[in-house]
Amino acid sequence: MKKRTLAWLLALMLLLTGCSHGEAAPGKQYKASFLTLFDTVTYISGIAPSEEAFQTTAQSIHDELLVYHQLFDIYHDYDGIHNLKTVNDNAGIAPVKVDRKVIDLLLDCREYYDLTGGRVNVAMGSVLRLWHNARTAGLNDPANAHLPDRQALEEAAKHTSWDTIVIDEAASTVFIQDPEQLLDVGAVAKGWSVQRVAKNAPSGLLLSVGGNVCATGPKDSDNTPWVVGIEDPNGGGYLHTLNVRTGSLVTSGDYQRYYVVEGKPYHHIIDPDTLMPAQNWSSVTIMCDDSGLADALSTALFLLPQAEGQKILETCGAEAMWVDSAGRCYYSPGFRDHIRT
């Protein structure tokens, strides 16, 4: 397995420090990082009058993100919290009363499902669990890495319908009627959570949760943009750096989470039609005002030919860059307007 950790951290350092022009607003730029959210690295950067003031803001953002992390977790229980694991554990048994945040996420996920023609389907948890288990086993024991059983995948795919997901807004409950079905919101949870937290955050911050990047405003009062790097999925640095003042930048790629079976890598973005890792692209980057939508679009466009993805972009006012396996880049009409280098 390729070791991309150092390259990814260097990419994030560029993202956070950036290159700026003009005079900075009063104060100094500070950075904070956390390892406790969504099983990834979270970075927060911004200008503040003192480090103490910045760290107070950063900790507040962390604490708000932690609430979402725990609510949307499908692997762990937390005292006093009914999260998505609780909902999955009660599939076919009983409705689960949940926090309104869970209701809102699932309602948006149903819209993402319709928008993307079913390409983004958080009701595919039964299929994704098989891939997760095989990938985890393969990473722990590479010599015996194997693919999920095909028959098991096809059986799991029979239990991925939204028709069996009952969301009762008045009662604030979620019920999976099919006992063989699971929810997995990994395709959208980080971006969706970042968007909600960013709405309450001060202007002039840059948030990055596992590469889901959101700017709450320009870096300073001179309207200086943040500089965000798009990593080359084949290694070797950046394909582009972009100027970002507000909104989100989200990338889905085949190089971030994968394992190797008999010399061939298998990544984590599963095509609902083939039940196998999608083969269209090496990475897709989305620029969009809404980080949750950007997260969903990056997954959907990774699964689709460019022309079909472009049609979805046009309904959302978003831009995209696609990178194929040969390293060739393709752009939606407005994406190049944001390129710095």
What is the mean predicted confidence (pLDDT) over 333-338? 94
Q: In what order do the strands lie in the sheet with 173-176?
A: 96-97, 173-176, 165-168
The answer to whether the CB of 303 falls within 8 A of the CB of 269 is yes
Q: Specify the pLDDT at position 7.
A: 35
Which residues are CB-contacts of 101 (< 8 A; sequence separation ≥ 6)? Answer: 67, 68, 71, 196
What percent of the chain clears pLDDT 70, i.e. is strictly above it? 92
Q: Specify the pLDDT at position 19.
A: 40
Binning pLDDT at 50, 70 and 90, where does residue 15 land?
Answer: very low
User: In this predicted model, which residue has the larger pLDDT, 151 or 235?
Assistant: 151
Q: Specify the pLDDT at position 26.
A: 60
The answer to whether the CB of 125 falls within 8 A of the CB of 74 is yes
Alpha-helical regions (H) of the chain: 5-17, 51-71, 84-89, 100-115, 125-140, 150-156, 189-200, 291-303, 306-316
Alpha-helical regions (H) of 201-339: 291-303, 306-316
Handedness of CA 232, 234, 237, 239 (dihedral sign): negative
Q: Is the pLDDT of residue 38 over 50?
A: yes
Q: Specify the pLDDT at position 17.
A: 42
**Identity of residue 306:** Q
Q: Specify the pLDDT at position 27.
A: 74
Pairing mode, strands 238-244 and 226-231: antiparallel
Neighbours of 308 (CB within 10 A): 15
Which residues are CB-contacts of 34 (< 8 A; sequence separation ≥ 6)? Answer: 41, 42, 62
3-state class of 329 per DSSP? strand
**Identity of residue 308:** E
Distance CA 318, CA 248 (A): 10
Q: Specify the pLDDT at position 256.
A: 77
Q: Specify the pLDDT at position 13.
A: 40
Distance CA 94, CA 74 (A): 17
What does pTM read for this prediction? Answer: 0.89
Q: Which residues of 186-215 are buried (b: 16+ CB within 10 A; e: fewer)?
A: bbbbbbbbbbbbbeebeebbbbbbbbbbbb
The per-residue pLDDT of the chain, averaged, comes to 91
336: left (phi over 0), alpha (psi -120 to 50) or beta: alpha
The answer to whether the CB of 288 falls within 8 A of the CB of 318 is yes
* 169-220 confidence digits (pLDDT tens): 999 999 999 999 999 999 999 999 999 999 989 999 999 998 799 999 999 9
Topology adopted by domain 5-47+205-338: T-fold (3.10.520)
Q: Is the pLDDT of residue 236 over 80?
A: no
Handedness of CA 101, 45, 292, 39 (dihedral sign): negative
Which residues are CB-contacts of 286 (< 8 A; sequence separation ≥ 6)? Answer: 248, 249, 250, 251, 294, 295, 297, 298, 301, 318, 319, 320
What is the mean predicted confidence (pLDDT) over 289-301? 96
* 248-263 confidence digits (pLDDT tens): 999 999 887 899 999 9
Q: Specify the pLDDT at position 8.
A: 38
* 86-140 confidence digits (pLDDT tens): 999 999 999 999 999 999 999 999 999 999 999 999 999 999 999 999 999 999 9
Residue 27's Cβ-count burial label (10 Å; 0-12, 13-18, 19+) is middle
Q: Side-chain half-sphere of 332: how many Cα atoms within 13 Å?
A: 26
What is the mean predicted confidence (pLDDT) over 139-147? 97
Binning pLDDT at 50, 70 and 90, where does residue 64 land?
Answer: very high
